[in-house]
Amino acid sequence: MEGSKYCQPESGCASCGACCGMYNWVGYSRGMVEEVLEIQTGQFLRSDRTERDLRRLKKVISENRPAPLYPVIYNCEFLGFIGNGNKRVGCLLHPGLNGGNNLRGISDHGRETCDESRCTACIYLSGAEAGLVAETTDDWYLYGLCLTDLDLTREFFRIASERVSATVSAEQVGAGPELKDIFRRYLLLKEQWPFAEKGNRFGKYYFQDGKYLIHRIDYQGLSAPESGYDRILNSLGSEFRSKAELGEAEERLDRIFEEFSRSLPG
Ligand code: SF4
Ligand code: SF4
């Protein structure tokens, strides 16, 4: 967790703390996460960083935070803003911030897990795909949301390729300013999607009775056929009240993919 170039891309504001519980709050939003991270960062910077003080801090912080979305996932008390004028998120216990001392043993994950674990994005997304997500989001909040949602990125390339009957690659998108801008607007939907259920969803997952489950859109209940955008709609946390809403959502995605197809050099 928190160490590879996927976690901390070299430049800009893209940075991730998703596996440290960054979004794991009921009704999470940019404002809520920012407040939690600001408090955690402030407390940490005021501490003397001895084990005793860090343990005290851990207790104080964990007792005064919003309700976790999925309590089985650890919301680390030491995730915070680590630089670039509070525009990057990361591990406050990282040796690079503590004169070479690795303080991560204090976290519930433990030092080894924090130092070595890699999420599915690190395994399954190519360097070019992750780099494109970093460059186009360039943001501490949106990057982790998009990076860790494999369906969101993969479906974009699958559908775009299908539309033009040719393989569309991350490298190709990265090389074209217009294509990059369309991809950026697509990723922005992850935060601004009007059909998203905000309280209890994390992408396609929802949480009930201490379990996480995969959400399925009830097409039958909406009297509609399954959407060609089904995976994207679930990634965006969609919950539709009517067939008309579903249609509106599909039209928004149609417009993005149509514009993208038109912008691809022939
Ligand atoms: S979720 Fe993945 S990319 Fe993000 S900090 Fe964890 S290991 Fe790194
Ligand atoms: S101590 Fe571990 S879990 Fe906590 S922020 Fe650092 S890497 Fe994440």
CA neighbor of 168 nearest in space, from 52, 65, 242, 264 = 264
The label of the residue with tokens 């928004």 reads 252
pLDDT band at residue 132 using 50, 70 and 90 as cut-offs: very high
pLDDT given for residue 209 in this prediction: 82
Question: pLDDT tens digit string along 110-126?
Answer: 999 999 878 999 999 99
- pLDDT at residue 86 tops 80: no
Measured in angstroms, how far is the CA atom of residue 120 from the centroid of ligand 2?
Answer: 17
Integer Cα distance of 139 and 131 in angstroms: 13
pLDDT band at residue 84 using 50, 70 and 90 as cut-offs: low
What helix, strand, coil percent values describe the chain, rounded to 5? 50, 10, 40
- pLDDT at residue 187 tops 80: yes
| Residue from 5, 118, 145 to probe ligand 1 pocket by mutation (most atoms less than 8 Å from CB) | 118
pTM of the model: 0.95
Q: What does DSSP say about strands 205-208 and 201-202: parallel, antiparallel, or unpaired?
A: antiparallel
Measured in angstroms, how far is the CA atom of residue 201 from the centroid of ligand 2?
Answer: 23
Question: What are the residue boundaries of the structural domains of the chain, listed by start?
Answer: 18-123, 149-263
- What is residue 52's DSSP assignment? H
| Residue from 4, 10, 16 to probe ligand 1 pocket by mutation (most atoms less than 8 Å from CB) | 16
pLDDT band at residue 198 using 50, 70 and 90 as cut-offs: confident
pLDDT given for residue 115 in this prediction: 93
166's CB contacts (< 8 A; 6+ apart) are none
**Worst-scoring range by mean pLDDT, 32-46, 103-117, 123-137, 200-214?**
200-214
